[in-house]
């Protein structure tokens, strides 16, 4: 029996419902799919990866980011979100964003994500067709959503042209194995009820996830209450926006009624712990939402407010923050937090073929080097991954069955060239 890749002698962490862990196993890949996980595979492969002393696990899924904003990393720190957005980020975007900026930024972000164990990410930004081209070249799985706003955006002068572009983008990329689309109205405060309804209709028409910011700040909640006489989640419910397609990023400020609405409508939530902390927007009720059965995945948000895209950092922060603020060390256990970056994140993205390892699943896989001082001794693999490991411990990455990083080397693009181009662009940004 032939396979394309066989990973041999690794510890295989499946992240299936039973948390199956194979202390030593082989994993075979043919095309984009896993075809065998067994103590000694009979599959013969063109490429064999020796994984002794390594952990083989699902690739991490970043459920909410703005990839190209890596080019704004460190430009505006230590200020409230409204100031950060209105006085720094928005003027900079208006002046500098173009397809070249996006290609360079997304290229840099993709390399950073792959090298820190992320094999799939959900993006909401501008010039997303340029982003798609870069992600396709680098071979990272991307869920891309053109930012839909009522005001002119860097790439479109009005909402009609934005919505038309979203439809055209779907026609261009439908069926692609790694480029997936979302419909992404920015937020209730930046989109009219009519725009939100039309966005939902597009998502229904093309069977796509519906990605939106919700209740990130108290200021936003107050603004929506004054404008519509309801909280953001209540407002979205009132206009018929919410359903099982919706991925609501942040959800920091929620009433009990709003939590129940999310449960009722099967809304998914992208939890961005580090960005929430850095911008001091508040404490998202993640523990309560998990207890209610809401699907939650972790996201980094953009690097301009994080300031990196390392999902290992995100897991560590999410686990520790909620323990601290609740004064309860038993919540957000390492094993459960790891699910929020793998199997639960796949549920958020509405892709049951991702997020865990099993025969027939899509081969989005990372290999983690366990032979490191800070990962020794190994008593509990979940604890080690969430509290001790970092993105730099990831040796290799396979995306859709393709080896994209091998022994820390990106195989699809020239990493040094991408960094050089980003540094050259940064000089223009710094003078912007």
Sign of the torsion formed by the C-alpha atoms of 208, 355, 294 and 131? negative
- Best CA proximity match to 261, nearest among 228, 239, 282, 283: 239
- Best CA proximity match to 189, nearest among 154, 226, 141, 146: 226
235 annotated to a ligand binding site: no
253 annotated to a ligand binding site: no
Contact 256, 234 (CB under 8 A): no
Both tokens of 258, joined, read: 């709003």
Judged by DSSP in three states, 62 sits in strand
250 annotated to a ligand binding site: no
CA angle 233, 237, 241 (to 5 degrees): 105
Contact 186, 180 (CB under 8 A): no
93 annotated to a ligand binding site: yes
- The rounded distance, in Å, linking the Cα atoms of 333 and 318 is 10
Per the omega criterion (within 30 degrees of 0), is the bond before 307 cis? Answer: yes
Strand locations in 197-312, DSSP E? 210-214, 246-250, 268-271, 296-298
66 annotated to a ligand binding site: yes
Beta-bridge partner residues of 410? 405
- The rounded distance, in Å, linking the Cα atoms of 194 and 120 is 31
274 annotated to a ligand binding site: no
155 annotated to a ligand binding site: no
Sheet holding 210-214, edge to edge: 210-214, 246-250, 268-271, 296-298
- Best CA proximity match to 9, nearest among 63, 38, 44, 51: 51
Q: Which helix (H) or strand (E) holds 421?
A: helix 415-430
Largest CA distance in the chain: 65
Binding-site residues for Zn(2+), in ranges, read 64, 66, 213, 301
Binding-site residues for substrate, in ranges, read 93, 186, 216, 301
Binding-site residues, in ranges, read 64, 66, 93, 186, 213, 216, 301
């Amino acid at each position: 029996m032939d396979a394309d890749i066989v990973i041999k002698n690794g510890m295989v962490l499946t992240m299936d419902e039973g948390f199956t862990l194979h202390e030593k196993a082989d994993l075979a890949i043919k095309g984009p799919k896993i075809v065998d996980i067994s103590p000694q595979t009979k599959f013969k492969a063109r490429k064999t990866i020796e994984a002794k002393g390594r952990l083989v696990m699902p690739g991490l899924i970043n459920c909410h980011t703005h990839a190209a904003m890596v080019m704004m990393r460190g430009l505006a720190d230590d200020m409230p979100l409204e100031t950060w957005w209105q006085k720094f980020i928005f003027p900079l975007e208006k002046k500098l964003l173009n397809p070249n900026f996006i290609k360079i930024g997304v290229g840099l972000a993709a390399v950073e994500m792959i090298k820190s164990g992320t094999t799939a990410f959900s993006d909401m930004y501008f010039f997303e067709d340029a982003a798609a081209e870069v992600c396709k070249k680098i071979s990272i799985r991307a869920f891309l959503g053109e930012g839909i706003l009522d005001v002119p955006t860097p790439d479109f002068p009005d909402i009609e042209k934005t919505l038309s572009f979203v439809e055209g983008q779907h026609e261009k990329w439908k069926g692609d194995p790694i480029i997936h689309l979302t419909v992404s109205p920015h937020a209730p405060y930046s989109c009219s009820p009519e725009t939100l309804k039309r966005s939902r209709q597009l998502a229904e028409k093309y069977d796509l996830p519906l990605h939106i910011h919700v209740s990130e700040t108290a200021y936003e909640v107050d603004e929506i209450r004054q404008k519509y006489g309801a909280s953001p989640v209540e407002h979205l419910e009132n206009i018929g926006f919410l359903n099982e397609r919706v991925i609501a990023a942040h959800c920091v400020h929620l009433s009990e009624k709003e939590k129940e609405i999310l449960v009722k409508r099967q809304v998914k939530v992208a939890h961005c712990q580090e960005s929430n902390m850095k911008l001091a927007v508040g404490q998202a009720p993640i523990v309560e939402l998990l207890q209610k059965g809401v699907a939650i995945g972790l996201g980094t948000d953009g690097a301009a407010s994080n300031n990196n895209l390392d999902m290992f950092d995100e897991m560590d922060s999410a686990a520790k923050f909620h323990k601290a603020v609740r004064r309860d060390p038993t919540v957000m256990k390492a094993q459960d937090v790891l699910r929020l970056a793998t199997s639960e994140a796949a549920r958020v993205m509405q892709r049951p073929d991702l997020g865990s390892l099993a025969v027939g699943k899509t081969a989005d896989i990372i290999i983690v080097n366990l032979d490191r001082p800070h990962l020794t001794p190994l008593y509990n693999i979940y604890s080690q991954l969430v509290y001790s490991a970092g993105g730099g411990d990831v040796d290799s990455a396979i995306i859709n069955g393709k080896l994209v990083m091998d022994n820390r080397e990106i195989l699809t693009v020239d990493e040094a060239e991408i960094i050089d181009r980003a540094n050259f662009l940064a000089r223009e940004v710094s003078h912007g």
